[in-house]
Structure formats: structure tokens, C-alpha cells
């Protein structure tokens, strides 16, 4: 059964580790993340962007697929199904469809409007035991066509949103979606520490986990980050493994064109990436 992200993140915060959110794109992706979480005995959050939701034929399709896998694959570790960077309407749709967690990204609205809409969604979600992630200050890079500039959040605004009763809070601290540029300034730990000081026990979320050096990840966790989003890194490892298979001409040998064979190296590559991240985040054996 899907669970809200609240309990797993409260435990992560207390235990000084982070739970990974791995974005899914199809059946192979979902199966790879779930099996790895089970093998690592780690809690996990499956992330679905609105674009990926459309690609996978809608939120209800995804809920059906994930719930089916939890049963058929005997997944017993805590799993949350979470809308990533949701709009107000998208979040409402996911709550209706059976997601156990939603992010409302109101960071592009003026703070008053972000607060108003976040409040409304919290009351709808709370009634169903669904966790809510809110965002303050855009996170740099591109996420489904939305481009930010590595912004840094205002700690006071973070406190205002945290006080509304959100489950977890994403705050820009110089992190970027996608690949990091050569001249990236790194994470702003002063701002992170200030946000943590003002928001107390609130689990903080680090978006754009791909390519942040391991020691920065560990420092961020020590300063209160309890959820780290990984998306691009699985895409890169899937693509590289698939390329290798095709460049080696394996799709031309025997029944190598069978999708169950063609997609197998990419599937294994996602599993390896997810395992590596769970080890780095410290969530192994924390289910």
C-alpha cells in the first residue's frame, strides 16, 4: 500500500539521512526503482512530473501500475507516490487519482498567492492523509519547460510557508535541475542553515540531486535535508547503457530486438544508479 511521505521523512530527519525521490518515466523505470528499494531495504519516493504523467497516459494509469507492482513484486518497504512540481490543478487531480503525496510548486507566484494556494491544497490533502511539499524560490535549471536561474530562497518566506503545515519544504539554495554548469557556485550552506534554524523540524528537500558532489550532499543532509530528488542521473545511465547495447550491434543478434532484451541494460543501469544514491543518502536498511 502506498504511504504518505510524512513518517519516512520524520524518521529520516531524526536519523540524519535522506530519502531519495526517483522520478519515473515508464514501467521499466518504476520496476527498477521499486525492486532496488526492496533490495536495499530503503524507503523510497516515486516522483512523477506533470509531463511524465501525461506521457504515462495519466495519473490513474500510474496509480494502477504502481499499486499493482507493490502487490505483484511483494514490495514491503514504505513507498510514496508523489507529484513533482505540480500545478494547483495537477495536485488536485493527483489527490483524486490516488497519489499519496503531492508537491505544489507555487514558487513562480508572488508569496501571498503561493501561501493562499498552498493553504487550500494542504486542507484538501490533510483530509486524506496525503503529504504536501511546497516550494519557495525557484530552483535553477529546467523542469518540464520551466526555467529558473539557480535562485536562492528567502529564509523568512520559507518560514511563512513552513508554518502553513506543509509536510516538507523545497527551498532553492543554488541547486539546479539537470546537468550542472562548469562554473557552478555550489550549494549555499549559509542560507540552508538559516532556513533550518527558522523552520525547526521541517524536513527540507533538495531538488536537482544529479551531479552535486557527494560531500556537499552529506553536508546538506547534516544541515536538515531529508529528501533528495534524483531524475536526470537515471536518465543518463539508462541512455548510456542502451547506447552501448545498440552500438555493440546486440539488437541485430538473434532476438536482441525483443524489447525485454533491448531495455534490459538500461533497466540494470537505473537499478545501479538508485542503489548508489540510496547508499550515499544513508537510507539503506532504514525501511
Q: Which residues contact Zn ion (rule: CB under 5 A)? A: 207
Number of H helices, E strands in the chain: 12, 10
Active site annotation includes 190:
no
C-beta closer to Zn ion: residue 70 or 91: 91
Shortest CA distance to 121 belongs to which of 169, 66, 166, 74? 166
The DSSP symbol for 57 reads T
C-beta closer to Zn ion: residue 21 or 242: 21
Compute the least distance from the CB of residue 253 to Zn ion, in Å.
Answer: 40
Compute the least distance from the CB of residue 252 to Zn ion, in Å.
Answer: 39
Compute the least distance from the CB of residue 84 to Zn ion, in Å.
Answer: 6
Shortest CA distance to 117 belongs to which of 80, 90, 98? 90
Compute the least distance from the CB of residue 229 to Zn ion, in Å.
Answer: 5
Cα torsion 55, 276, 267, 130 to 10°: value is: -40
C-beta closer to Zn ion: residue 82 or 207: 207
Q: Which of 84, 154, 190, 258 is catalytic?
A: 84
C-beta closer to Zn ion: residue 159 or 227: 227
Compute the least distance from the CB of residue 76 to Zn ion, in Å.
Answer: 28
Give how far the C-alpha of residue 6 lies from the chain's centroid of Cα atoms, to the nearest Å. Answer: 14
Asked if 19 contacts 227 with a C-beta cutoff of 8 angstroms, the reply is yes
Shortest CA distance to 229 belongs to which of 106, 100, 45? 45
Q: Considering only CA atoms, give the Rg of the chain.
A: 18
Using CB atoms, what's the residue nearest to Zn ion?
207
C-beta closer to Zn ion: residue 141 or 266: 141
Alpha carbons 173 and 207: distance in angstroms, whole number: 9
All cell numbers assigned to 233: 542521473
Strands (E), 109-218: 131-136, 141-143, 146-148, 168-171, 204-206
Active site members: 84
Amino acid at each position: 500500500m502506498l504511504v504518505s511521505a510524512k513518517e519516512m521523512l520524520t524518521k529520516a530527519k531524526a536519523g540524519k539521512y535522506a530519502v531519495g525521490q526517483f522520478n519515473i518515466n515508464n514501467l521499466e523505470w518504476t520496476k527498477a526503482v521499486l525492486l532496488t528499494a526492496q533490495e536495499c531495504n530503503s524507503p523510497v519516493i516515486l516522483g512523477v512530473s506533470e509531463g511524465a504523467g501525461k506521457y504515462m497516459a495519466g495519473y490513474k494509469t500510474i496509480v494502477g501500475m504502481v499499486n499493482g507492482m507493490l502487490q505483484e513484486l511483494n514490495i514491503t518497504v514504505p513507498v510514496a507516490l508523489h507529484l513533482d512540481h505540480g500545478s494547483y490543478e495537477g495536485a488536485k487531480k493527483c489527490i483524486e487519482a490516488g497519489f499519496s503525496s503531492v508537491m505544489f510548486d507555487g514558487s513562480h507566484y508572488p508569496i501571498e498567492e503561493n501561501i493562499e494556494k498552498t493553504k487550500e491544497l494542504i486542507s484538501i490533502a490533510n483530509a486524506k492523509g496525503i503529504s504536501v511539499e511546497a516550494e519557495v524560490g525557484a530552483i535553477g535549471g529546467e523542469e518540464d519547460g520551466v526555467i529558473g536561474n539557480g535562485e536562492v530562497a528567502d529564509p523568512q518566506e520559507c518560514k511563512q510557508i513552513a508554518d502553513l503545515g506543509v509536510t516538507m519544504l523545497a527551498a532553492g539554495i543554488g541547486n539546479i535541475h539537470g546537468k550542472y554548469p562548469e562554473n557552478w557556485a555550489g550549494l549555499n550552506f549559509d542560507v540552508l542553515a538559516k532556513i533550518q534554524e527558522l523552520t525547526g523540524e521541517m524536513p527540507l528537500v533538495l531538488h536537482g540531486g544529479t551531479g552535486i558532489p557527494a560531500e556537499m550532499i552529506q553536508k546538506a543532509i547534516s544541515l536538515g535535508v531529508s529528501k533528495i530528488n534524483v531524475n536526470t542521473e537515471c536518465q543518463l545511465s539508462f541512455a548510456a547503457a542502451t547506447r552501448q547495447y545498440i552500438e555493440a550491434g546486440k539488437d541485430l543478434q538473434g532476438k536482441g530486438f525483443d524489447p525485454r532484451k533491448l531495455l534490459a541494460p538500461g533497466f540494470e543501469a537505473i537499478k545501479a544508479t538508485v542503489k548508489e544514491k540510496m547508499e550515499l543518502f544513508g537510507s539503506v536498511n532504514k525501511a
